[in-house]
Each structure stands twice: as structure tokens, then as C-alpha cells.
Chain A
Amino acid sequence: MSQIALLGAIEVGLLFALVALGVYLSFRILQFPDLTVDGSFPLGAAVSASMIVVGYDAYLSTLCAMFAGAAAGIVTAWLNVKLKILHLLASILTMIALYSVNLRIMGRPNVALLGEETVFSPLEWLEETYDMPMYVALPIALTVLLIIVKVALDWFLNSEIGLAMRATGENPRMARAQGIHTNGYILGGMALSNALVALAGALFAQSQGAADVTLGVGVIVVGLAAVIGGEAVMNTRTVFRATLACIIGSIIYRLAVAGALNSDAIGLKAQDLNLITAVLVTLAMVLPGVRNPFRKKGGAS
């Protein structure tokens, strides 16, 4: 595998680690299987790209993308807690609606960002001054971002609000008995989760040169694979370890993809990726010591 391919895999892995953290929040903390992410990931891309091409600042555009993602999460949560629609179905409804919304936001299926000023543009300074190529600078910048997000998320989940949110997911009835407004925490948690996913979408579009209406394909599967894969390789008894596992899981997943793309000798091709994903997730679930949501109840705590 070439250095560019390897660092490229780490770069995409770090971007999708944000998705994994979002999925960890909804799937593990709130016990809410959320397919909204297939729509909120391209939503983040659509909002940031559309704003950037009309001349808004890239950082402001990315922030707006996060707010849009949060709004999408709130819609799903609202459908669930207020209209009493099954969580899985509620998230599917938001996801399909977002396809149209994304088309509306962009006005066309693809908004190109090649050559535009993005949040990564300042990294070009490193290239000019220190001769550090973009494919090295980008993963480093993303690592810094991930550390910040992870620390903030760990702090949040250990705060009083975070503990109440975890209680909401673990045992809603008991949480309510303790005076916790579970509906509010579900809305807030879903907003936070989808804001992270939209941030990932916005950054993905900016690093890959375009927002496309098809960007959301399979994002939830990748997010789940990262969460479950991460849990397979390390124990997740504390929040600190659980969020770290999400990031590691996401990078491992991308390295596996890169491995598949670069293993012509073994005969694996990109065509086999979906199969590899399925095998990976299955292995992770059956490996001993892994918490399996489909076999017994219990989230990371």
C-alpha cells in the first residue's frame, strides 16, 4: 500500500469517526437505532457546500451545517417522542425527506468545491512553508479535531446532563421516576448525534471536492461497523474508552477498505467491500466479550 493510500484511509477514517461518535450517542447511549444519518451526512455536505459557493465563510458554513444536522435529529426525535412513531420508522421518514431537502438546498445533484476556499485551505500554508503535502497535513488536522471533539464529548457525558441522558437510554422508566425529562434528553441527544454526523458530511465534502446527493449511501452501516468494530478490539467500560473505540473502529474499517483495494494479490476488489463489511460486523458481534445489542440488553456506561 502506498503512503498516500494509507494516509488517505486514515483521513477518511477520521472523518467517519465523527459519524461513529454520532452513532454511538444515538445507538448506544440513547438505545435509539437512528437511520437519519444517511440523510444528515449529505445534509451537512449540502449546507456547507451551497453556502461556500455563494461566498460565505467556510467555518460559518460548517457551523450552519451542524445546526442543520441538529435540526434533522430533532425532527426524528420529535416524530418518535411526540407522535409516537417507532424510532426506526421515524428515522427512515426523516432520512427519505432529507433526500428532497438536500436536492432543494443544492438546487442540483452535485455542488463542486474544487478550488474553493474551505476550512482546510489554511493547510496549504503548511505545504508552501514546510513542504508538507496536503495528504499528510489533512489527517493531522483531523486528528487534532477528533481529540477536541472526543474530550468535549467525554466531558459532556460525565456531566450531570450527560448522566441524565445515559440514564434515559439505560432505563427510561427509572429515569422518569428520578425526575428526568426523558423526552427532552432524547431530543437533545439526537440533535447532538446528527450535528456530529452533519459535521462529518461537511468536512467530507470539503476535503473530497464536492457535495453530492448520493453521499449518504450506507453511512449508517459504516457508523455501526465502526462502533461495533471498535468495541471488538478494546473494552469499553468507561466513556473515555467507548469514544476512543469509536475512533479506532472507524480507522480500522477504512484500513480494511484500503486493504481490500490494495490486495490484488489475494483477489479482493472494491466490489467485495459490502461483503467484507458484513463479515467484519458479524465477526465483531460474535467475538467473545463483545456486548451484543441483539442478544442481550445493555449499553456502554
Chain B
Amino acid sequence: MFAKRLGMAAMASVVALGISAAAQAGEAHVAITQIVEHPALDAVRKGVKDVLAENGYEEGKGLKWSYESAQGNPATAAQIAKKFAGAGPDVIVAIATPSAQTAVASTKSIPIVFSAVTDPVGAKLVGDMMKPGKNVTGVTDMTPIAAHMQLVKRVVPNAKTLGIISNPGEANAVSLVKLIEVEAPKAGMAVVNAAATKSGDVLSAARSLVGKVDAIYIPTDNTVVSAFEAVVKVGNEADIPVLAGDTGSVERGAVAAAGFDYYDVGRQTGEMVVKVLQGGKPADMAVEGVSKTELYVNLKSAKKQGITLDAGLVGEAKKVFE
């Protein structure tokens, strides 16, 4: 009661700064907040919108679509979150960590589906990946490490030891390494980690792995990926197959990688949004990892690194470099 009266008084004193369009009855309202405009994040948004359209929620025809970008400014992101919390949409879609955090800080009741968040538990968006328990769930763009370890095994079936190179100063890489150290033993491989704190150290780090490992896997670490050719050189010289966490590295000489496309991350997010619109409760919807990955292989590199790729694997590849 008090809150309402205060709000009214404040409203009256500020004379209509904005005119909010009233939602039409029966329309599904999806509000989407994005920290900054950026090709990967824009692809996510497009994916969400396309899936909504395919499920009968088209803008102007059963869907009210509100989109705001904070232009990289966190204070604006906070105000966007407040705007959406006040407008009361059916779902708030929050793209990237800062937008998701401000949305979660602004409402405890409106369902929130986040996307392109690498570590939802670390960002305190959810307490548990399997059982979010509150009004928040979504899709994480964390590399599907378990699937990548399976791929290493398919490419190099008798691999017993896996070499990785990472920069201990890169937060994302550090959490990937932790995950690899959990998942690789499950696939029957021991892990040897070589550190490279700058691009110039990558070559010697790769050389330090020679004789110790049966395959090398390079996680999506900016430092190491930027010097990827150095790893390939060592792999070619010492006949060690090199695999990567991103598909872009295949053209640069990795034998194989199964990466994902941000548009597909968006589509997967869109499917969760549709579920919520149809009555699903975020509390019961587990946070999803990226399910759709695309396989790229490089036959020339395979030859140089002393292996033959299985014909079935090559057949599955979306792109084959020869």
C-alpha cells in the first residue's frame, strides 16, 4: 500500500517521461536484455527469436518482443533490468553474465532464461545446475569438455596420456583445465598440463610435452589459441595429433575439433523460453550445456601428425580440410 502511494506520488511529480505501450491481451511477452552488441551475442538473440517464430510466437502475431542493449554500460543494464521487472513480461531473456546478474537482482518472480553465461554457478545465477530451484534457468556456453574427451578417444583410440597447454592467468582457461582433469580420466586418459603465460611461451610448452603424451588438446584459451601454429609445428614434427576446443583452429592445423555456433546456443535458449511460455517452471528446468556441436576435421594435418582418421568420423564432419 505504502509502496503504491509513494510510486504514484513520484510518478505524478515526474510527468510522463515515457509512454509504455500496453501489452495486448493474450499476447506472450518476451523481454530480452543484452549487455552489448557483438556478433556472437547477436547470433544468440537471433536464434531465440527464430525458435519462437517457429513455435507460433511471431512478433506482432502472438508475441510482444522487447529488446534493449546496455551498450556495454552496466548502469544502463541495471535500469533495463528494472524496466523489465516493472513491465512484467512472461519471460526475461538475459544474454551474457552482467545482464543476467542485474535481471536476477531485479526480480524474484518473473521467469528468467539466461544465455551465453560461461559459469552460472560462479556467477550465482543458480545454486545448482540440475535443480535451479528459483525463477532462473538457462543455457551455458561452457565448452562441452566431456564430449571433447570422447572425441579425443575417437581420433586417437589408444591415447593413454593427454597433453594440454593453458595460461594459468586466464580465468576461463583455469576452469576448463579443472574440468579436463575431471573428465579425461573418465575417458581413460591421464592429463599433463603445460603452462604458457604468454604467446611466446607456447612453443616451448608444446615441446615439453613431446615424449610424455599421446595427443594434445588445446582448450579455448586466448593466449594459447593465438599461438596455435606453434603447437601444430610440434605436433607435425613429433607425430602427436593436436585437437582443439574451437573449430577455427582446425583450419590452422588441428586434426579435429567439435565446436559450437552461437546461433545454435540461441536456438537452444529459445526452446527453453518456449517451454516457460507453455507453463514450464524454471525452478524445475536444469541449466543446459551446449548440445549441438559441429565437427571439423583436417586430413592434411592428420597425415602430418601420423594418424589416419576413421572414415565414419570424416563422414560426420561438417567441414573437411584436405
Contacts and interface: CB of A to CB of B under 8 A. Distances in A.
A10 B10 contact: yes
Nearest to B105: A209
**Interface hub of B74, B97, B106 (most chain A Cβ within 10 A):** B74
Interface string B11-45: 10010111111000000000000000100000000
Contacts of B85: 4-5, 8, 135
A215 B80 CA distance: 15
Interface of chain A, main secondary structure: helix
Interface in B62-79: 66, 68-76, 78-79
Given A115-B124, A136-B2, A271 B18 contact: no
B232 to A, nearest CB: 29
B82 A135 contact: yes
B2 A114 contact: no
B79 A209 contact: no
Interface residues of A, number: 57
Interface size class of B (residues with CB under 8 A): 35 or more
A110 to B, nearest CB: 6
A114 B14 contact: no
B124 A263 contact: no
Contact of A3 (B7, B98, B101): B7
Interface string A118-162: 000000000000111101100000000000000000000000000
A262 B19 contact: yes
A254 B10 CA distance: 14
A154 B16 CA distance: 33
B102 interface: yes
A12 B78 contact: yes
B85 to A, nearest CB: 5
B320 to A, nearest CB: 36
A41 to B, nearest CB: 10
Contacts of B125: 112, 114
A210 interface: yes
Contacts of A116: 124
Given A4-B86, A136-B3, A210-B101, A263 B79 contact: no
Given A113-B124, A136-B3, A12 B79 contact: yes
A208 interface: yes
12 contacts: A1-B18, A1-B83, A1-B86, A2-B83, A2-B88, A4-B82, A7-B82, A9-B79, A110-B101, A218-B73, A266-B19, A269-B68
Interface of B: 1-4, 6-8, 10-11, 14, 16-21, 37, 66, 68-76, 78-83, 85-88, 97-98, 101-102, 104-106, 122-125, 127, 171
Given A110-B123, A114-B125, 17 more contacts: A1-B17, A3-B3, A4-B86, A5-B82, A6-B10, A7-B10, A12-B79, A12-B82, A109-B171, A112-B122, A112-B124, A113-B124, A114-B105, A132-B3, A135-B82, A255-B17, A256-B17
